[in-house]
Amino acid sequence: EIMPTPNGVTAVGLDDVDMDIVFTRPAKVDVEIRSETLPPTPYSKDPIVVRHIAVPVEKAGTVTAVLYPRLKTEKPVEVMALDNGLGVKVVTPAGTDVVYLNPGPVKAELGGKAFEGKVGLLKERGVKVAMTAPGACDIPRTFWTDGDPQLRRIHWKNKLQYPPFPDYEEAVTPNGGNVLILDQQKPVSAGGFTATQPPSPPWTDKDQPGREATDVAVTWNDQVLDVTFTCADKGIVASVHDNDNIKLWKDDCVYVWLDPGHTHNDEKKCVMVQLSASGAWHDSTNGSPASNVEGLKTEVARTATGWTARLQIPWKGLGVSTPKPGDVWGVNFTRMDHPGKFDLKAMEMSAWAPLYFHPGDASDLMWLGHLVFTAKGEEAAVAVGREAMKKKHQSMVEKAYARETLVK
């Protein structure tokens, strides 16, 4: 059961513990307790009644709430807002806590000392006082995977309940800077490869360039997508010579990832074409290595500073029609680089469209960049392509905020 209180609610537990939920920001909230009947499930023959709380928010900003579990025999927790809701003071039988937890920096007094930062904690337990003030406490975007459903917009009775959460909006419309306007007359360049972040500390919030430079030149015609990699490489590894070898990644190699039609589908249905410095290739369609891109042409050459790899990928071999000016596809270009010999720990994957959220996994279509097809870079086709991207991304936002997504 959920019981209203002057500044929030108390969730009454079935056993010996209740949960006090006290809202301190905005200063005044009109908490609503709502009920909803869900249909029976395979685990319950009867309809399920779900109760929840709703807090209307009139404008963008921060909602702050204190959740305090306590024994039913204890008094409700005493909570006071500090500095217009930037901080809270919590008085309990054990002592007093002063907490600052804010998206932006705060200037305040903590334990009699000047405090500036996003996070601060003061604990008073009798005569003992402990203070923690880590300061800015920025969270690297490595941690932001698929977004927290609780921070998404929720709609109630056609009324916007939560304002858009900026970080999540950015997350579901990714790689706005990774757009290639293709030209049939001359290749366009995709450079600035960044190393994928390691799946262990230290994490970083900054782009880390690949240790050796990579550039990709891309053009197209009625028959093929034409992609040429230029790779600086001081020690080339090229030991695998058979095609469709799933261990081709043990060589220095490059990859093209394609999402025809810019679908961003959940099933990760896409095309991957991989080319080793040895000249061997490996491809897969919708995750199946048995499905080859018929008519694929490849070419590898050594240079004074490394090697080049050219892939001519036919539309017919992809099973699609020739794109039209204004069409948009999802795309990424990645590279596997070894330090002169195969080394599992020292090998590095780098990518044109960064892979912060899923290090090493370029198959997640959410993070692909974009190809906009034009005949000569004409403005009309570019405008059509950008509008198509905007429409597709908006549909992704709406899907992410849909009820069936939020209640998974």
Q: What is the bridge-based pairing of β-strands 188-190 and 194-195?
A: unpaired
Q: How far apart are CA 114 and CA 120, in angstroms?
A: 11
pLDDT digit string, tens, across residues 258-271: 999 888 887 888 99
Q: How far apart are CA 168 and CA 147, in angstroms?
A: 6
Cβ pair 365, 268 in contact under 8 A: yes
pLDDT digit string, tens, across residues 289-308: 777 899 999 999 999 999 99
Cβ pair 341, 381 in contact under 8 A: no
Q: What is the bridge-based pairing of β-strands 297-302 and 214-220?
A: unpaired
pLDDT above 70 covers a percentage of the chain that reads 82
The dihedrals phi and psi of 48, each to the nearest 5 degrees, come to -105, 125
Q: What is the bridge-based pairing of β-strands 17-25 and 8-11?
A: antiparallel
pTM (predicted TM-score): 0.60
pLDDT band at 250 (very low <50, low <70, confident <90, very high): very high
| Range in 192-196, 254-258, 296-300 the model is least confident about | 192-196
Residue 313 carries which side chain, given as an amino acid letter? I
Report CA 272 to chain centroid distance, whole Å.
21
pLDDT digit string, tens, across residues 175-189: 667 889 998 988 999
Q: What is the bridge-based pairing of β-strands 281-285 and 297-302?
A: unpaired
Report CA 181 to chain centroid distance, whole Å.
24
pLDDT digit string, tens, across residues 24-72: 988 888 888 888 887 776 666 778 787 888 887 777 778 889 999 999 9
pLDDT digit string, tens, across residues 343-401: 888 888 999 988 765 556 677 777 788 999 998 888 888 888 888 888 877 777 777 66
H-type helices in 264-305, by residue range? none
Mean pLDDT, the chain, integer:
82
Instruction: Name the residue with higher pLDDT: 336 or 171.
Output: 336
The pLDDT value recorded for residue 149 is 43
Cβ pair 309, 359 in contact under 8 A: no
The dihedrals phi and psi of 251, each to the nearest 5 degrees, come to -95, 165
Cβ pair 307, 231 in contact under 8 A: yes
Q: How far apart are CA 29 and CA 302, in angstroms?
A: 67
Q: How far apart are CA 35 and CA 32, in angstroms?
A: 10
Q: How far apart are CA 137 and CA 159, in angstroms?
A: 34
Instruction: Name the residue with higher pLDDT: 400 or 102.
Output: 102
pLDDT above 90 covers a percentage of the chain that reads 37
Highest mean pLDDT among 4-18, 237-251, 376-390: 237-251
| Cα-Cα-Cα-Cα dihedral sign, residues 236, 238, 244, 249 | negative
Q: Encoding tokens for residue 345?
A: 């720990």
Q: How far apart are CA 102 and CA 113, in angstroms?
A: 18
Q: How far apart are CA 102 and CA 104, in angstroms?
A: 5
List the one residue out of 209, 222, 214, 257 whose CA is nearest residue 371. 257
